[in-house]
Amino acid sequence: MNHNSHTALVTGANSGLGFEAAAQLVEAGYGRVILACRTAEKASEARTRLVERTGKDIFDVLAIDVAELKSSARAAQELVDQPGKIDLLVLNAGGSASTLTVTTEGIELIMAMNLFGHHLLTMKLIEAGKLSSQVHIVIAGSEGARGNLPRMAGIDYEAIQSAVGGDLDAAMDAVARGEQPVPFNANRAYGNAKLWVTWWVAALARNLPKGMVVVAVSPGASPGTNVNRAMPAIMRWTVLPLIKVIGPWLKLTGSVAEGARRYVDASEFGAEASGKFYASPPGAMVGTLEVQQDEHFYDRSMQDAVWRSVVRLSGVGFPG
């Protein structure tokens, strides 16, 4: 497909996967790439480096902190006020946190930065007619959503629902606010936030007009991304360097370039892909990108409950 007249927006574009995805989109022929970063300074610095790398000055910058709903709303309005439409959203920004942290808007931080800000941005752009009729929305997922990785065991939703009087919506809100009656575990919280991403994608796909495509895509395990900032210092100094050396050899990790390529590949997926979660093969963290078949990804009641919770706590739903 010829993308010369197309515009892509990449969140978290100042480093790691987002930076690499922005570069690869230029190489794929996109005529304009919006670098959406936490600060204008970070975005401008990324623009300079990307111009040097690609030899093309086709980048615009946007300040957005996806962990804060107000920031996402301001960024959405800035985009709405600009001419033209967006053909590709790469919702890559995210991360983890070492301790339980709640944003000023009452959302658990890991959940906020991986899903809530992106939800609000997407809904505002849809509402304003800012997305093209054939837009692709690619949001970062993770193999951790499977719930079977070491230290990323899934959350017991039945227990939480029971603890809040049997109400599923109350249970989902409690999880989103970091109020669930279990000790906080950063790895479990991260995996669960990525599980919410898969459920959100499935629910959103049912609302999108024909022609629009939304998918969750795991970039795979890569030690070269900023998600590792939440690691305890001792692990960053000892374990992470070791993983960088032996991970590729053992096929446990891949490169940042390979991870970003997954986003770019997903931008070409057809309508049949919409609402699905793509990641590495079962039991793997790298390898061929494929649709995930785990039964819990297809739980319609959980998909709908997540959608209701995100709409309720963000204050923004699908227009109309």
Domain 7-314: give its CATH architecture: 3-Layer(aba) Sandwich (3.40)
- Close Cβ partners of 221 (under 8 Å, ≥ 6 residues apart): 143, 247, 252, 253, 254, 285, 286
- Residue 150 confidence (pLDDT): 67
* Pairing of the two strands 7-11 and 213-217: unpaired
Distance CA 259, CA 39 (A): 24
Work out the number of other CB atoms within 10 angstroms of the CB of residue 258: 17
Q: What is the pLDDT of residues 170-195, one digit of tens each?
A: 999 999 999 988 889 999 999 999 99
- Residue 64 confidence (pLDDT): 98
- Residue 242 confidence (pLDDT): 41
- Residue 244 confidence (pLDDT): 46
**pTM (two decimals):** 0.91
Q: What is the pLDDT of residues 281-305, one digit of tens each?
A: 998 888 999 999 999 999 999 999 9
- Residue 186 confidence (pLDDT): 92
Distance CA 137, CA 283 (A): 26
Tokens 């809040």 sit on residue? 164
Q: Which of 62-66, 232-236, 270-274, 316-320 has the lowest mean pLDDT?
A: 232-236
Instruction: List, in sequence order, every residue forming a beta bridge with 86; answer none if it has no partner.
Output: 131
Please determine, for residue 224, whether its predicted confidence score (pLDDT) is greater than 90: no
Please determine, for residue 233, whether its predicted confidence score (pLDDT) is greater than 60: no
Q: Which of 22-31, 67-76, 83-92, 140-149 has the lowest mean pLDDT?
A: 140-149
Distance CA 227, CA 141 (A): 13
- Residue 152 confidence (pLDDT): 73
**Burial code of 179-217, b = ≥16 C-beta within 10 A, e = fewer?**
bbeeeeebbbbbbbbbbbbbbbbbbbbeebeeebbbbbb
Query: Which of the two residues, 126 and 246, has the higher pLDDT score?
Result: 126
Q: What is the pLDDT of residues 62-76, one digit of tens each?
A: 999 999 999 999 999
Please determine, for residue 207, whether its predicted confidence score (pLDDT) is greater than 90: yes
Please determine, for residue 231, whether its predicted confidence score (pLDDT) is greater than 50: no
- Residue 247 confidence (pLDDT): 46
